[in-house]
Structure 1
């Protein structure tokens, strides 16, 4: 759909207000707005890596940059830093994130050295209180919520495992951690995810070259190959939320693979039968 050839495309978020897809290139680094009606992509350069972001109820965005949480205005300009990053930024950065229905912003970190499980999943409340919710992670990913708000899904990509937690939506707390699904193939590494209206979990399998759909019971019910080896995250969009957008990466891929899959780093779109859910917004 968009042959943008991003280095590390990530975090697609559909905005119903302007019928546009917002996304980031973590490594460029940039925040982008893609208008499917005109096929125009607008990129706003960022001063440092931007792992994830979400829309704000008050307008603009809240974003997890390497140095901390920032507000970004509607035109892609940094407004102010909300809070410093809670990690050693020499070898950690923020990664996957999204808002919950109560207006909190969740963002996970990753250990760029990949030598220890020193990353965490954090919860930023609208009053700017920051809490560490899950620890012992190497690369935080796969964050999504069930349609009824009672389950939080989370993946640590190198483990090839997605866990489910009971989620108290009012308190914002987690309990009863269990394995939702574990992928056996070495290259099937769960990256970003989304949940549809039936409660099925869609996971982009980094290095696996596909997106999979998993039932609420943890059974694989759909598999969709892509013209890129490293899809990174998926999001539902379009007027009826029945278009699945998938970002991808081309960084650190060998020339032979890129010659075979030249659209790597692009954003792909496919129509699906079951619609997704509107993306919540940060209330701070």
Structure 2
């Protein structure tokens, strides 16, 4: 069903917000174009934590000790933010086949990283060459999934047994079981969403999906059916996360932009919130 807009804007005027993660009472995220790591409270208090001077930050994760991991796309690195400083956490430049995009860290400290399989901008004949790289807490890394069509948003359940990946070119969600060693095993594909970007899970096992070209945040059930839709007319939906005291606040990141505008560096991003019935689960 379509839900009438009931969003409340808590932050506006950014450039391109991505990778929202609820942690320690705040929403952490990056501004890709401004190359900054930020956080905001539910009431809108904004704080800038760090700048990435030599690359574009995109994905985020939170380690079990509370440190933040920031993905940088083109140098293919994961950076650890601790004590106000960024330091190298993992260098994937020799393992990744292409630009790395989004990532998530589960409650055991395992990082799942999306490898597009090609370098941006995307070639016309790119195909299903995307992969998932698993970075273990000891720093070892290996490819654990392939055959993905532009892996984008990634989410993992709180019991560490389910991984979901948005396939932007595939217009669907790849749904995996996670083996004890962290390896995902494909269960199937869910939904039909145009250009799915960032995602998050709720306690019913449904997935909230930011659809870039549908200008909406869409809730997809375990059976692949659409359950809810929150429209942001005229704006590209980028990413979402469930947070707040009871994890029933849906943070919706969007931008007034287009592919043509993005090529020119033109984008204005904002964060809206809305209360939902079903609380969040896992990460983000």
Smaller-chain TM-score bracket: 0.7 to 0.9
- Aligned pairs, how many? 264
The aligned counterpart of 1:204 is 210
SS of residue matched to 1:208: coil
TM-score (norm 1): 0.83
CA distance in 2, matches of 1:166, 1:278: 14
Report if the CA contact (8 A) 2:200-2:283 is conserved: no
Ranges in structure 2 where 5+ consecutive residues have no aligned partner: 1-8, 262-266
After TM superposition, give the deviation of residue 65 of structure 1 in Å.
1.2
1:53 maps to 2:60: yes
1:59-70 map, 5 Å = 59-66=66-73, 67=75, 68-70=77-79
Report if the CA contact (8 A) 1:20-1:34 is conserved: yes
1:191-249 deviation line (CA, Å, top 9, x unaligned): 11111111111111012111111111111111111255211111111111110001123
Change (3 A) 1:86 1:53: farther
1:124 maps to 2:135: yes
The aligned counterpart of 1:160 is 171
TM-score (norm 2): 0.83
Change (3 A) 1:86 1:63: farther
Report if the CA contact (8 A) 1:154-1:162 is conserved: yes
The aligned counterpart of 1:72 is 81
The aligned counterpart of 1:259 is none
Pick one of 200, 225, 242 that aligns with 1:219: 225
Change (3 A) 1:152 1:114: same
Change (3 A) 1:88 1:202: closer
Report if the CA contact (8 A) 2:19-2:59 is conserved: yes
CA distance in 1, matches of 2:11, 2:39: 14
Task: Tell me the C-alpha RMSD between the 2 structures.
Answer: 2.5
Report if the CA contact (8 A) 1:228-1:264 is conserved: no
Change (3 A) 1:264 1:253: farther
CA distance in 2, matches of 1:87, 1:7: 30
The aligned counterpart of 1:44 is 50
The aligned counterpart of 1:231 is 237
CA distance in 2, matches of 1:130, 1:102: 15
Change (3 A) 1:38 1:26: closer
1:108-123 map, 5 Å = 108-110=114-116, 111=118, 112-115=120-123, 116-117=126-127, 118-123=129-134
SS of residue matched to 2:169: helix
1:269 maps to 2:273: yes
After TM superposition, give the deviation of residue 80 of structure 1 in Å.
3.0
Report if the CA contact (8 A) 2:251-2:271 is conserved: yes
Report if the CA contact (8 A) 1:164-1:178 is conserved: yes
The aligned counterpart of 2:184 is 174
1:82-104 deviation line (CA, Å, top 9, x unaligned): 32424679xx4321111123220
